Amino acid sequence: MNISVFGALAEANRLDMVELLLQGPMSVNEIADRLHLNQPQTSKHLKVLSDVGLVEVHKVANRRIYKLRTRPLAELDEWLGSFRKLWEERFDRLDDYLSELQGQSDRDAPAAP
Amino acid sequence: MNISVFGALAEANRLDMVELLLQGPMSVNEIADRLHLNQPQTSKHLKVLSDVGLVEVHKVANRRIYKLRTRPLAELDEWLGSFRKLWEERFDRLDDYLSELQGQSDRDAPAAP
DNA sequence: TAGGAATATTCCTGTAAAGGAATATTATTG
DNA sequence: CAATAATATTCCTTTACAGGAATATTCCTA
């Protein structure tokens, strides 16, 4: 898992951008307008997103069209896969750990409290 | 989506902690040892994880056992769901957007320059 | 209750990063 | 080529935060 993706998404405006771009590719000014940001900030944030591969740019005449890239999100999804069993199957090794802590002596453990 | 989760995971040691805790609940010193961190740093990072709900603590005698919480990860998974179609079905609204930009006038567009 | 684990907290410092404002750059169009 | 639209970059200031070191706290045990 590329940790920089988390860093990029850890900023509110950038998270908004990513969600906005779900609607489709968009120019800088369009993004700025929709999110009520000024243009320089928008460009800066887009650069961060671009650096971590969350968006790609396409030059079209005067404008730069930013488009969401699926790859990093797919990788995030994959990473989450390791954890998915945590909530799909009941996962609670706490009890195991606790009895392990106590020297796992008492063989006849009590039922679930 | 709670953005603070991204913030918490945006730090390498904390990401390591979360992945480590996938193996099961663990005490502070155990975590510190395994990740080659000192105890104070470990406690600090665990506090951050705890504040965003990624872990929960159980007091056992002298120790504090930290355990992964599924909720925020499940929510992250759910959030990702909005994007999942991006890579599952082909998703490329760029062409649509481009022709939309050009006023969709010229029906017979030229090939790539 | 004193001593000692296990853990949390505080203080300090350096650094990364966000926002504002101004300016530079690139490309279009007349 | 001049003027202008669209976007990127730079400079500055402020703030958040990670790491180190020291210390406080909590809880067990003899």
pLDDT digits (tens, 9 = 90+) for B28-85: 999 999 999 999 999 999 999 999 999 999 999 889 999 999 999 999 999 999 999 8
Q: Is A62 a residue whose pLDDT tops 60?
A: yes
Decide: CB of B68 under 7 A of nucleic strand C: no
Nucleotides of D under 7 A from a protein CB: 5-10, 17-23, 26-29
Could you tell me where the DSSP H helices lie in chain B? 3-9, 12-20, 28-35, 39-51, 70-88, 94-101
Chain B residue closest in CA terms to A97: B25
pLDDT at residue A92 in the model? 65
Q: What is the pLDDT of residue B42?
A: 98
- Whether domain A1-103 has CATH 1.10.10.10: the reply is yes
A7-59 confidence digits (pLDDT tens): 999 999 999 999 999 999 999 999 999 999 999 999 999 999 999 999 999 99
Q: What is the pLDDT of residue A98?
A: 63
Q: Which residues of A touch B24 (CB under 8 A)?
A: 93, 96-97
Q: What is the pLDDT of residue B113?
A: 32
Do A22 and B82 make contact, defined as CB atoms within 8 angstroms? yes
- % residues pLDDT > 90 (chain A): 70
More confident residue, B62 or A91: B62
Which chain A positions have a beta carbon within 8 Å of B67's beta carbon? 94
25-84 in A: which are within 8 Å (CB) of B? 25-26, 58, 60, 63, 65, 67-68, 70-71, 73-74, 76-77, 80, 82-84
* B105 CB contact with strand C at below 7 Å: no
Asked if B21 and B55 touch (Cβ cutoff 8 Å), the reply is yes
> How much is the pLDDT for B8?
98
Record the tokens describing residue A88, joined without a space.
């799909």
Is residue A68's pLDDT more than 70?
yes
Tell whether B109 lies on the interface with A, counting CB pairs under 8 A. no
Instruction: List chain A domain ranges.
Output: 1-103
Are the Cβ atoms of A94 and B25 closer than 8 angstroms? yes
